[in-house]
């Protein structure tokens, strides 16, 4: 019986970490050259301009991952906590383990949801100044004075070198 509880706890732990890994890997391509199915066959407005400021930023997508991390961490912590003691002591340990596991899972998921980005301020050829934040591409480093193309589709935009 004790062996099967350990096997169950290990199975739940591995499953939760696998789920977190899959969620972390399912983020969009960080290079700005990946398009979702909804992006195909759409008309985009194209504007031309010049980069007047480029600054690194951290993009925090942890809101998407936090719920999964919190639930998985709480489940794992609760299961592991329930193994401590017996009777009401086991119940208290399970609650404490669940709370600590939920907190740890939330923090781990938050870290998975971060990526490097760039905040680009662009003076369009029309004279208008706009700013766009997008994920950083190590193969596409923007410099002040660089000519760029801005592709706009509704409320989303993508900046690429011209």
Over residues 29-43, the pLDDT tens digits come to 444 556 677 777 789
- Which CA distances in Å does 28 have to 24, 53, 77, 143, 161? 10, 25, 30, 24, 20
| 60 compared with 78, residue with greater pLDDT | 60
Q: Report the pLDDT value the prediction gives residue 158, as an integer from 0 to 100.
A: 92
pLDDT at 161 over 90: yes
% residues pLDDT > 90 (the chain): 31
* Angstrom distances, CA of residue 99 to CA of 40, 82, 103, 153: 44, 12, 6, 43
pLDDT of residue 6: 53
Burial of 92 (0-12, 13-18, 19+ CB in 10 A): middle
Q: In the structure, what pLDDT confidence band is assigned to residue 86 with cuts at 50, 70 and 90?
A: low
- What pLDDT is stored for residue 130 in this prediction? 97
């Amino acid at each position: 019986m004790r062996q099967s509880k350990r096997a169950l706890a290990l199975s739940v732990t591995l499953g939760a970490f696998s789920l977190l890994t899959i969620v972390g890997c399912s983020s969009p391509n960080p290079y700005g050259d990946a398009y979702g199915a909804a992006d195909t066959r759409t008309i985009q407005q194209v504007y031309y301009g010049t980069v007047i400021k480029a600054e690194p930023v951290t993009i925090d997508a942890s809101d998407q991952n936090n719920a999964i991390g919190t639930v998985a961490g709480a489940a794992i912590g609760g299961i592991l906590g329930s193994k401590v003691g017996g009777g009401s002591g086991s119940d208290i340990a399970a609650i404490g383990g669940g709370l600590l596991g939920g907190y740890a899972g939330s923090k781990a998921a938050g870290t998975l949801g971060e990526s490097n980005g760039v905040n680009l301020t662009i003076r369009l050829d029309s004279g208008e100044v706009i700013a766009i934040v997008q994920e950083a591409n190590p193969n596409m480093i923007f410099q002040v004075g660089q000519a760029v193309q801005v592709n706009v589709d509704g409320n989303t935009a993508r900046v690429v070198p011209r």
